[in-house]
Structure 1
Amino acid sequence: MLPFTLAGVVRAGALSADGGVQVTITPCRDGSPARWLIDQRRDWWDLVTRGPSGYERYARLRFIPDPTYDGQREMDTDFTNDGPSGIAQLGITVSALARFTTTVDECYFLIWEGYENLDHLRAATVSIPERPCYLFRGTAEDVSTWKDARDDSGELPIPAFVWPADRAWCIANDVDPHFATIGAGESAISDLLRTARIDTTLDDPTTYPPF
């Protein structure tokens, strides 16, 4: 787990210009920046897997290939897991989207409460049905260096939602599907689909993808 101070959550080894510890991700005490997600009034499953409605275009980031037949298990896919980790792929995605927001230095992250050892950080709880989350604030760049606690790195688990303050785009990344869903403008999605090292595809928000 990341070290915790009254100033917030800090990355070990990150130093400011004066030699002090540089705070990069902080727990939000107020959950209002995530209120817009609750106000979507979508079915909870649609919200956490498909993200908020209203964006011009949608895409999916596939951590593993889509199943090719009903009932196919992840272990049965023809897939060699020798590429970037899930959090690394998310970092590549956010880096591609970063130039399409005016608030690159103010981004928000929801982390599912189901992961252990997060309550002591005293972050605001966002009450999404079946998926209550803690709210954190940081920058788009933070995702590129994020160390997933599920990999025993000692930092925070992979976020369930990522969005900038201007809501120019939003990523929904639930624990169950093999993909994350990205909502954004036409140009951002077009650019994302051309990004190397990740497997992305256009998404139709009216049709549920294979899962």
Structure 2
Amino acid sequence: MQASSDPSSADWLVHAERDWWDLAVRGPLGYASYARLRFIPDPTHPGQREGEADAPYDDRSETEQLAVVVATLAKHTTTPEDCYFCVWEGWGGLEVHGAARIALPEREAFLFRGPALDLPQWEQALDPPGPEGLPIPSFVWPADRSWCIGNDVDPHFATIGASSSAIEDVLADRGVDTVADDPDRPQPGYSY
């Protein structure tokens, strides 16, 4: 996993015909199926705050949970060794050298590239290493674009777009909390 200096690999996201919020939260349209990786369970009543979630938090970091999904999706791409990872530049104190700045609307990001299965080491991808490491990626996709994960900083979930068989495999993995998603319907959200 290393910084990537070529911003053209993210042009398809930068120029996606989608409202910036929907792109950041739900990723690009055009996939056969969608799912959500829930870092915490969905709210059960209006006005609920994240700290009032009805189930305990997963002990693993969000990046570790995302890595489980990416490992499943790696079986559904012809380019598992060539994937892209964006990190939102708005995280405080983030110093990235050598990475292209991706001009995503309202969510500019830095671009990294590496094998899908290197995501568990994502936090150490800075060169030189930073004291905090990298926060969770905001987008992940393989070079063949057979799937894409959108993960905005605000919601309690990441959205996965992929083939129907890839989404079936993601939903079948009981190691993470995933549910089917419909990009035409609003998602549940916590109050802030």
Q: TM-score, normalised by structure 1?
A: 0.83
The yes-or-no answer on 1:195 pairing with 2:173 is yes
Aligned equivalent of 1:111: 87
Q: Give yes or no for contact 1:148–1:158 (8 Å, CA) kept in 2.
A: no
User: Which of 42, 63, 71 lines up with 2:47 in the alignment?
Assistant: 71
1:166-199 C-alpha deviation (Å, 9 max, x unpaired): 0010000110000000000010000110112200
Q: Give yes or no for contact 2:34–2:161 (8 Å, CA) kept in 1.
A: yes
Equivalent residues in 2 for 1:46-195 (5 A)?
46-147=22-123, 154-195=132-173
Residue 71 of structure 1: CA displacement? Answer: 1.4
Structure having the higher strand fraction is 1
Distance 2:116 2:79 in 1: 9
Using the aligned pairs only, state the percent identity: 54
Distance 1:64 1:120 in 2: 29
Residue 26 of structure 1: CA displacement? Answer: 1.7
Higher relative contact order (CA 8 A, sep 6+): 2
Q: Give yes or no for contact 1:91–1:145 (8 Å, CA) kept in 2.
A: no
Distance 2:163 2:109 in 1: 26
Pick the structure with greater CA Rg: 1
Distance 2:58 2:186 in 1: 28
Distance 2:92 2:179 in 1: 32
Paired residues, number: 185
1:142 is matched by which residue type in structure 2? D
Assess, with a 3 A threshold, how the Cα gap between structure 1 residues 64 and 153 changes in structure 2: closer, same or farther. farther
Task: Give me the CA root mean square deviation.
Answer: 1.7
Q: Give yes or no for contact 2:39–2:57 (8 Å, CA) kept in 1.
A: no
For the residue of structure 1 that corresponds to 2:123, the secondary structure is coil
